[in-house]
A and B are shown apart, each in its own frame.
Chain A
Amino acid sequence: MTLRAILTFSVAAVLVSACATKPEPIQETTPVATVQPEVFEAAPPPPPPTVAAQPQRPAFVPPTPGSLQDFVYQSGGDARVYFGYDQNALTNEARDVLRRQANWLNNYSNVTAVIEGNADERGTREYNLALAARRANSVKAFLVSQGVAPSRLTTVSYGKERPIEGGSDEFSWSRNRNGHTNVNIQNTIG
């Protein structure tokens, strides 16, 4: 059951990331809405890349091998690769990250992943869905080229629907143009 699996993953992600994420601003969402156990909607934002990189963090303990944290850690601190404006070509930096991701995925061959394509807000909704689909495909194609079985990777385009930064500035836009390798750690029990 993928649904349950993702849900479980979501809960796990909440637990793991709760201690590390910066405090979210108070949201005005209704209690009813937050209680809804919907897969994509209720899933919290994936752990921000700043988690592992935070220098002031005392007494760093390496994450458990094979865990989501481990994947992020091994990827270089971020499960996402970033794109230029209206681009779906991988940068050298992105290729480095994806090589590490492929390496990790090849080590944990029971893990599947959903590659999520994202776009910044400066495009129309449908065009961005198409653009982000291309980005997800670029990521997948590269991982496959590094030996990951295509059957383990699915893609989904979120267009501009799931920004990780809310701002409307170059920094936020550059962060929101990404391909996110969302690994499914709980796959084996699903």
Chain B
Amino acid sequence: MKFGIPISFTLHAAFLGGGIFLFNETPYIPEDNLIVPVDIIDISKETNVKAAVKRREPEAEREIDIPAAETPLDNADVKDEASKQAETLPEPVKDVPVETAAEPSVDISPETKTPDELPEDTPENLVEAPETPSFSLDDLSALIDRSRDSQPEANQQKVLQSEETLYAFADAARRGAGAGDGLALSQIDALRAAMYKCWRIPADAKDPESLIIPVEVKLHRDGHIASVNLKNAGAIYGSPNPYMKVAADNALRAVSKCAPYDFLPVEDYDSWKHMTLTFRPILSQ
């Protein structure tokens, strides 16, 4: 009985301390992290995220009529043949060439990629992140809604609630045991300096400071990238703001471009193997 109180004290302290860790995602940027209610979406709904990206619909060819650009004065008769059409190309092939003319589809809008081209959106990627445990602390921290930063009207934060993820989470947590407290400030500065070089800030977009893109990065011990995912791909690609999608592509590109992250200390691997880099443009005044 005489060990009861210290044990109880220790356990409670660990519980509370861990809780603080868990529910406060941004140890380095002090700010109010309000816990905002989010919708829990099941896996089947998850697939609806894909639908937010326009699916190509096979259609008849649309003719874009371009009048003869030349001799505006002398040439009053516009040639009909000068009209032209723009259509999206069929999907490129990875291995085997296929008949490309098979599915002519019409949409001049460049964002008409097939959903398959968006790895961030697919539930598979969220459930089965390659190589690293498929569920991690940040899946839980996803409960703390960060999407309010970028999409206050569309809280589409995804939380996976399958049984596997619970196990996976536990597994991940076990591995994380004994990890250090994180990177030193100088190392964070180094990371920021690297990202400065790799990231083209969308300063010329309309309302650039609203283009906040959280990117989840998983790294190998040697600093190479294991996976890069948008934290709220559905909200971003479903956003009516066309700059949002481009900003997301831009952020993902920056993360890839900066690899390998071998300048981060190997001894602190546990603290940087999973990172969320939030691209949050701030224009100097």
Instruction: Determine direct contact between A and B, CB below 8 Å.
Output: no
